[in-house]
Amino acid sequence: MTVNPFVALIARGEADRTSLAGLALEQSRVIPADRLAFLHLARRATPDAPESAAFFTFLAEGEVLAGERLGAFAAACGVTEAQSAAYEPLPGCQGYPAYVAWLALNAAPAEAVFALTANFAAWGGYCATIAEALRTRYGFKGEACAFFDFFAEPSPELDRLARAALEAGGPNEPRANRYARLLQSYEDQFWSTLSALTPTA
């Protein structure tokens, strides 16, 4: 797994509340953007790639559930509705959903499945580390950690849908690997941008 500077700060309890609030605010933009991209991919895949369509529909439904859990984390970080409404997203954080949207428009469905799936293990690991640190380092309680618990929990159904989509779709391997590499780079950029928000001693 790629070393993640911001998650490492959280794990040590060294990310301040302002930085954690930034994570919540950036995710409040990422979640609805990704949901729309997944719905678009599902529509594109429906005629010829029903297995991929089922995978993207499942992801879109998951984004709804994640969004419902994000508010408690934001509130625990001290984010108000007024702050959320006025927040200006950071380009380094929003490159990830922008590239997911690019995949929704340009990638073959099975290649998008491959790229997204390749990134899930790292994302789930980050969320597990954050959830643990929020409890042990920051004193956050159940609902405030639920967003990260949700993504940290393994999903056998998602794994099954991904396998079915890849077996049926036969993605172009060079393109799929390129998409996965770029998506991981944007993921890394997201976390590096947040890491820069935390003052160093």
Q: Which mean pLDDT values do the consecutive 10-residue runs of the chain (201 residues) have?
A: 83 94 97 98 93 97 97 96 95 97 96 93 92 97 96 94 91 92 95 84 47
Residue 146 lies in a domain: yes
Q: What is the pLDDT of residue 171?
A: 83
Residue 59 lies in a domain: yes
| Cβ–Cβ < 8 Å for 59, 24 | no
pTM of the model: 0.93
Identify which of 139, 178, 201, 186 has the alpha carbon closest to the alpha carbon of residue 26.
186
CB atoms within 10 A of CB 141: 11
Q: Which amino acid is at 122?
A: A
Please give the residue range of the domain that contains residue 106: 14-195
Q: Which amino acid is at 33?
A: A
Residue 9 lies in a domain: no
Joined tokens for residue 111 = 């290649």
Q: How far is CA 78 from CA 141, 190, 199, in A?
A: 14, 21, 18
Domain count across the chain: 1
Q: What CATH number corresponds to the domain at position 152?
A: 1.20.910.10
Q: What is the pLDDT of residue 120?
A: 87
Q: What is the pLDDT of residue 2?
A: 56
Residue 2 lies in a domain: no
Residue 6 lies in a domain: no
Residue 1 lies in a domain: no
Residue 7 lies in a domain: no
